[in-house]
Amino acid sequence: MKRLLDVLQASADYLAGKGVEQPRLVAEQLMSHVLKCPRLQLYVRFEVNLEESQLAPLRAGIKRLGAGEPLQYIVGDAGFMGHIFKVDRRALIPRPDTETLIAAVLECGDLWSRPAVALADVGTGSGCVAVSLALGRPEARVMAVDLHPEALDLARENAGLNGVAGRIEFRQGNLLEGIGGAALDAVVANLPYIATGDCAKLPRHIRAHEPLSALDGGPDGLDLIRRLVKEAQVALKPGGWLFLEIGFDQGPAVVGWLRDNGFVNVVVRPDLGGRDRVVSGTLAV
């Protein structure tokens, strides 16, 4: 047996030596998962001795963290918009920046003044966007689209975990191909937007473990976004909305592309850090 505080400190020191960011916090998060207790409760349990049955999964998890694997893949879930989502290598880990995209959609009064809103989450991945929209707007008809069947399977699992499986249509497809003309009131997308040349510069825990297909957006990061804007012109009803998550330096380019392709009322919404994060616009009537 070993004292909890000693194990925690040794774990944090090991992770620091492996270059893991915020090693103490990450060690605490893993330990709270293994011990099935809130993280802050660890502070009143420092003198508790840990059994071998607890130490073994801790050691295994710390080794995986030291090798660069994301904590969320190790514990198997991640929080997003106040809900829990299953995560694994089939899709990107949900990130707080994407909550800005959800907020932009949910707070769009013009969209929700329409009857029987139909929207598509394109490139759904884990399903965190589609599920969050279905939870936030129970009256909406939500479609979740992804090119990769394994990602769609994960999205279905997350819809089931959050009680909205029966309210989301899951569709395997390449962007909006096969969706009828003027069928949607809104298109929402967090597509790959990292330039190919920048993917190798991503932190190790991202580039070595999360799916590259969900990150690489082509030479300037905007290949799929440009395609989606064109396809949204067909799939959206007149006056329909397009919401796009973007990289912090892509706002001007994406705004210009939307305006050049028939969208009006184009605006950029910053994330909590003040960086450009979401571009939205309406298809001109």
pLDDT of amino acid 268: 98
Range list of H helices, the chain: 4-17, 23-35, 52-66, 71-75, 98-106, 109-112, 128-136, 149-161, 196-199, 204-207, 223-235, 251-260
What is the pLDDT at residue 33?
96
Using an 8 Å Cβ cutoff, are 257 and 229 in contact?
yes
Query: Looking at residues 222-235, what average pLDDT do you find?
Result: 98
Q: Does residue 285 have a pLDDT over 90?
A: no
Name 263's bridge partners: 283
Torsions phi, psi for 165 (to 5 deg)? -60, -35
Return the pLDDT at 78.
96
Please work out, in degrees rounded to the nearest 5, the angle formed at the alpha carbon of residue 192 by the alpha carbons of 78 and 109.
75
78-283: CATH superfamily: Vaccinia Virus protein VP39 (3.40.50.150)
Provide the pLDDT confidence category of residue 261 given band limits of 50, 70 and 90. very high
Answer whether 0.75 is exceeded by the pTM. yes
Residue 204, pLDDT score: 86
**Sequence spans of domains, the chain:** 2-67, 78-283
Q: Could you give the CA distance from residue 268 to residue 258 in angstroms, rounded to a whole number?
A: 11
Q: Is the pLDDT of residue 1 over 90?
A: no
| Contact residues for 110 (Cβ-Cβ < 8 A; gap 6+) | 241, 282
Q: Which residues contact 104 (CB under 8 A, 6 or more apart)?
A: 243, 269, 278, 280
Q: How sure is the predictor about 157, in pLDDT bands with cuts at 50, 70 and 90?
A: very high
pLDDT in tens, 31-73: 999 999 999 999 999 999 999 999 999 999 999 999 999 999 9
Q: Kindly report the average pLDDT of the chain as a whole number.
A: 96
Q: Does residue 3 surpass a pLDDT of 90?
A: yes
Q: What percent of the chain has pLDDT over 90?
A: 98
Cα 229 to Cα 281: distance, rounded to the nearest angstrom: 10
> Hunting for tokens 């290949």 — which residue is that?
223
Query: How confident is the model over 107-155, as pLDDT tens digits?
Result: 999 999 999 999 999 999 999 999 999 999 999 999 999 999 999 999 9
